[in-house]
Structure 1
Amino acid sequence: MGRPAKAKINLDALRHNYRIARQLSGNGQVMAVVKADAYSHGATACASALAYIASGFAVACIEEALELRAAGIKQPILLLEGFFEPSELAMIDRYRLDTVIHHQHQIDALVAHPLSHPVRIWLKMDSGMGRVGFSPDAYRAAWEQLSGLSCVKDIVLMSHFACADEAESNHAQQQLVTFNAYTRDLPGERSFCNSAGLVALKEARGDWSRPGLLLYGVSPFTEAPHGIESKIQPVMELSSAIISIKDIPVGSSVGYGSQWMAGRPTRLGVVAIGYADGYPRHAVSGTPVSINGCRVPLVGRVSMDMLTVDLTDVPNVQIGDRAILWGPDLAISEVAQKADTIPYQLLCNLNRVPVQYEGAYMPDLVNSDGAGA
């Protein structure tokens, strides 16, 4: 009923991709990144689907963590940005959350507000990303200060790659050299790899990896393939339906700004999806849309609620036929390239579209005390 746009989420594919990530990690553990509502796949649904196999979950902030705890998730949950205010420490304590520490003000807050339960700290080094994290020179002093606190039970040594998805760059290797040099004799588990690092940098996999995009069946590499593309399975299929078909003559324009004009008699189809749903407004004419197993080109500007496609070469399409915007049969990375953006943004911008799930949640195992193997 209602508007036909929807996102179908295959939880079996999600579990398949997690197992791929776990295989890549070797003896290490895999912290599934489910921030930003699991990249619009639904954080509670995805965490519930992974709860019996996942070593833990990573989120951006405490609001996301509490949502998972309320859904019954018992596995470790890591706050990737740490806490923003000292008042959050009470919730970290109550809900037994792991937290990143990336700045001295967070250590000062922990000293001033000691926790009643021991907490695992992920101490972040800025090894070359240039965002948050202690400088290499300041890292040891931060580690020593934290290791002296009775409420700190473990310290995971952590950093984050800036260019692991760029095969031509040696920046990731330089970051790894820096990280290893400044942590060489520090005890504790280590965590460096995002999705790209997990695939491309075997030497950096360490004790904990933190894949995100890979779990949702999207390659983190925009250029040279790494073989991972054939192993992972897209989790989301974004689709809608044809709601209008009309024939237009040569020279007729289509869409806002009249940027596209028919160079031949054209059979035009209108699909009920647009930039208010998260489909990229700047996708250019020629961006593929899959209808009845055939690729047809987008034509004209994407509107808020609709887009138009050229159906001239697929005359059997009818009103009501499904239009696949991305999914197993049409890579989201291809759509992102046509819109001069990245798959992360397309997924995270998804809005207003009803989400439907396939694959068992296995809810009898969600409340398991085990952290998964």
Structure 2
Amino acid sequence: MRLRTALLAMTSMAVAPTLAMASTITGPYVDLGGGYNLVQSQHAHFSGFSEADGTTNNAGSKSRYRHHDGFTGFGAFGWGFGNGLRLEVEGLYNYSEINHRRPTSVQGSTHGSDQSYGGLVNVLYDIDLAQFGINVPVTPFVGVGAGYLWQHYNPITTSYSNGNVNRVGGTNGGFAYQGIVGAAYDIPGVPGLAVTTEYRMIGQTFMDGAYHSTAWNQTGLHKGHVNFDQRFNHQFILGLRYAFDTAPPPPPPAPVVVPPAPQVARTYLVFFDWDKSVLTGRAREIVAQAAQASTHVQTTRIEVNGYTDNSAAHPGPRGEKYNQGLSVRRADSVKAELIRDGVPAAAIDIHGYGEQHPLVPTGPNTREPQNRRVEIILR
């Protein structure tokens, strides 16, 4: 019943709302904890006398000792490798009351306690639930450990109804091992500090014949030996853990973003006054821009195409011929300006298209400024 109650309490702690996401440890940390220690009943094997009346009994006798409430405490120093794996050295202390012994040949009452202390080396692994798509503010962990513990009985006294007394005591050491299941919860605002909840099962083996048993009865004092079988502790622990190296790794340097080079126009428009082929001040600026651009883009030739609107100083067929010549003169003016701006003459091809290919469609004999133009095209 007590084991079931303790397990329910541990489950409640594990599913309770938590404060923040626990982090993977990198570097040194310390861990302190304590809690409830529940020890399974142990079987004792006596030799040299009967535990009830003190008479010699070569066959020996057996009894089962039942443990009552107890507590545990530990301190650990460890190192986290940053990938979830941790290694730690732990010192611990366990205490348990003993209040029952059966069977005995004569009715009696038993009271006493025992304690164990020693050290273990633990290997633990923090489970990052985010890698499984589970985003909850808790980091569970599992672990195993092995080491050495000393077991001391304080002693255990059994008083029988016939007045006889038996006492078991002594200290013995043996190999110990444990399994660990727990979870960590970061404390907001305190980097590196976390609350932990754990369940531990500790097993321990003992050497034969190391504990002594003494009986008093009407015939005097009788001494013998007692052996205990393996000891199992079930522990439910609340702790605090502090990781010293809590600074997050520096973020990777931001990639250097090179702004794209401004796109250089490959077509430039130069506009003219009506019936003129002379460049205006604004027209010269545009020609200079085209000349400069030709040095920044891959250019095999420069086309200079002249145009007019469909109005003319001389109407009729003579006007179309006139506009054709005017478009060529406009193209020649732009070519001459390009040469003055450093463009080789051999790289320039000129064409005159007269009234063809207007930018803005119009009715006949219409003065349209946008159609009176020269197009500079970088090929």
| Structure-2-length-normalised TM-score | 0.16
Q: Larger radius of gyration, structure 1 or 2? A: 2
Which structure shows the higher helix fraction? Answer: 1
Which structure shows the higher strand fraction? Answer: 2
Higher-RCO chain (CA-CA 8 Å, sequence separation at least 6): 1
